[in-house]
Chains A and B, each alone.
Chain A
Amino acid sequence: MIELKDITKSFQNGKIQTDVLKGVTFSVQKGEFVAIMGSSGNGKTTLMNIMGCMMQASGGSYTVEGVDIKTLDDDELSEFRNKKIGFVFQSFNLLAGTSALDNVLLPLVYAPEYPDDATERAERLLASVGLEDRIHYKPGELSGGQHQRVAIARALINDPAIILADEPTGNLDSDSLKEIMGILQKLHEQGKTIILITHDQNIAAYAGRTVFLRDGKIYEGAK
């Protein structure tokens, strides 16, 4: 379903060019739960930004469900993110001063059609992550783990093809970590495709498959 072939990414900073990704090739099947591991600063987030259509690769090809991402313009990329990608960020990224419900509904503002049952759907999703009694709480009134649960509900509101989670537990204590990973595992069991980025072996263990990012390339299985 997801195919990356020879993906490269370089950043130009003045005269200095940093080659972060140097030919990433790997694929993810529908319904897989893949962990991408790698040490800090070696390009995991960059790879995720490319897979999430937040930036274009410098070279190589990236196709999702047969669509070559290179051929999409800015508006089409936005629409693609909206429909196909559910982001879960390390720093949660909820809108401050906005209720859990409205945060979950936010992607629907930019959806081509605003569904009639949007609110019920959001409430159902919040309930499924255990926040049925926090629906109208604002981020300031929620704990870190609850933040991330709202963010997961938000990632699911458009029923995306892929969940991209970039160190989703990086800012959480170990109890919340277990809860969040449990939720992701459950989503996997329900058939969601999940790509999880982490540098923690124990977290990667939740995934069905682990790949390693090293020196700008992906290595399967072994460390």
Chain B
Amino acid sequence: MKVIKIIAESSKSTLKHKLRTVLIELAILVGIATLTVVVSLTQGANKRIMKRIANFGSDAIMVHSGGGKMHGPSTVQQANLTRKDIADIRNIAGVRFTTPIQVELDMPLKYGNQFTTAWVMGVEANWQDAWRRGAARGAFISDADNEQLSRVCDIGTTTAKELFGKMNPLGENILIRNVSFKVIGILEKRGQSPAGTDFDNLILIPFSTASRRLMNQPLYTSMLRVIIANPAQARQIAGTISGILRENHRLAATEEDDFRISTAEQVAKMIKSTSKTLGLFLWLIAVISPLVGGIVLMNIMLMAVSERKHEIGLRRALGAKKKHIIFQFLTESVILTFSGGIFGVGVGVLIALLIRHLGKPISISWQPFAIAFVISVLIGLLFGVYPAKKAANLDPVEALNQ
């Protein structure tokens, strides 16, 4: 009961000293809004990273032609995987199946008077199972298409939009580097690759057509996707593949790999390392700015205590114990930081929505609300305790004489 009465005194006091209330709430608002935006940004980024990693596939291993440390696909110009390489890899225990990919980046495309460029990949029918992705509309490239070196293609939604606008592309013929291909299907939407490129700006054609007709690389394959039975074996199988390729390519112990192997684990690591620096900097701001709010609170509350000495002395004369005064001032601090925090989350969410509107990945969930709730109360307690103690320790007579 007494607690409720003192809380009532505290809230009356926050209403009475409006300027002070507004200043403190503003300071806390800025801090909590910053925190909210950073939490939303981080969550948005994490969500996108998780999606990219999921897009790679946890049961997949990618084998790229050509060595080095670059990320992203290997092109047909680098192709050095032989038929024997592929057969050997397929025979490793734990490998379910493999699918070869022949890649050429940014190939010129034309439909009517529309021009664009896209990645063109030569694939086999089991590409669908390997990527868990097929034709959303129309048909996917079949084994027969591969046997007959058909000039057919499945196109990604981004490419379709570039070339056809709102038109239906199915059945139309497009030119890929002046060779005519018939559109037989539209690929399911997929978003971004692990490297951050658009997985929907893509054209798939039969592997054989790509190798022999379009890209002129009948012997070697540029990439191989390996699907394994148990994701936990990814690292071990990647090691086996590396051994096989080094032996097949007759690499001496001193020579570097002339291929790259990536697993979901490595892809996750790669993505996280590139996004870490920005995150750290943002988090630094996010942590400092509520603290700045807390320091503002402490200063203004200290001023309030010296301005309100008379009131404190009077309350003491009328029977308030030290702990009552501490409780009153601490409650005032928490009321101010908590309400500032609520406004802060509101403003933060608005800013986050604005940033999302500008195209940045933002995830708005319950966490910022919980964090703001806890942090703003903590700041009120942490930075309010010193002014409150100072108020309680005033000499009642001196305070009353102010």
Contacts and interface: CB of A to CB of B under 8 A. Distances in A.
A82 B2 contact: no
Interface of B: 1-2, 5-6, 9, 12, 16, 310-311, 314-324, 395-397, 400
Contacts, number: 67
14 contacts: A54-B317, A55-B395, A74-B321, A75-B322, A93-B317, A107-B318, A109-B2, A109-B6, A110-B318, A110-B321, A110-B324, A111-B319, A112-B2, A154-B318
A43 interface: no
A97 interface: yes
Contacts of A111: 2, 319
Contacts of A108: 5
Nearest to B6: A109
Contacts of B315: 106, 110
A81 interface: yes
User: What 9 A-B pairs come out closest when comparing CB atoms?
Assistant: A82-B319, A110-B319, A78-B321, A107-B318, A109-B5, A110-B320, A75-B321, A81-B319, A97-B16
A6 interface: no
B317 A114 contact: no
Contact of B397 (A55, A79, A83, A112): A55
Nearest to A95: B311
Contacts of B318: 81-82, 87, 106-107, 110, 154
B12 A98 contact: yes
Interface string A99-126: 0000000111111111000000000000
A107 B311 contact: no
Given A54-B396, A114-B2, A83 B317 contact: no
Given A109-B6, A114-B1, A114-B2, A79 B319 contact: yes
A98 B315 CA distance: 14
A52 to B, nearest CB: 7
Contacts of B320: 78, 109-110
A78 B319 contact: yes
Contact of B314 (A52, A93, A112): A93
B2 A110 contact: yes
A138 to B, nearest CB: 11
Nearest to B317: A87
